[in-house]
Structure 1
Amino acid sequence: MTTIAAYTDAAGLAGTDLGFTEWIEVTQDRVNLFADATDDHQWIHVDPERAVNGPFGAPIAHGFLSLSLAVKFWSELFDLDGVTTKVNYGLDKVRFVSPVKVGSQVRMNAVITEVTEVPGGYQFAVDQTIEIQGAPKPALVARGIYRFYA
């Protein structure tokens, strides 16, 4: 469910837990498309027959594919009304905790940890955890930085 806040309320959103996105499946097609886009065709990602005998027993998603899903998930969880421009400003910290096997379901939780006024808008620091359904540890944890300009 998307939390929609007014621009005038942005400064008070620090500490807001936005909950979880819906689960999505990480398919071999998605992994292959990412491999094509990045020219990263390592066998552990794109060769299912070989990957079965690899260290994870199956092909796995690229870590950066898992991370890139944060953009999709973030837009599912939060929107700020009254802005003209929204910018993915970067990351302060990323850790790839567990590999995401092809066929796994993943989702994200996000907590707005800090809101700072910047020229023309606000900057949000957001703790993001992408988890793997049924796994004891998340796929990754990251602090995303987003800017919203009025």
Structure 2
Amino acid sequence: MISLIQRVSQARVDVAGLTIGEIGPGLLVLVCAERGDTEAQADKLLVKILKLRIFSDDAGKMNRSVQDTGGGLLVVSQFTLAADTSGGNRPSFTNAAAPDDGRRLYDYFVAQARAAHPDVKTGEFAADMKVHLVNDGPVTIPLTVR
């Protein structure tokens, strides 16, 4: 699975002009299932995200996790993270999981996140979403779990 993590002071996702998920300080988590991914990769990715020490401690060092800070998670499906641009200027998305598998793994990831963390909001799988964020830092970190 692939994820792009952005530390935010706030973020929201809108569908058809309505806000469907919104957080204050925390992490915007863009997540993509690739062909062959399993629940084991989703679990491993979630643990990494929840323990990733990218929030400042009292000394100003990135030494605290989203769990330490009690920040929110805004989890948004994004199959374009699987883009392969090696063959030219038009990205190929053949590495992305098939839609049914992608939805299943996204739903699983969200359910596990909600079981492990108190503040989890989401986008809508396969919807035309508008994601608004204020990147804090900025801090943006790609994560891949195989």
Query: Which range, TM-score by smaller chain?
Result: under 0.3
Taking structure 1 as the reference length, the TM-score comes to: 0.22
TM-score, length of structure 2 as denominator length: 0.22
| Larger RCO: 1 or 2 (CA < 8 Å, sep 6+) | 2
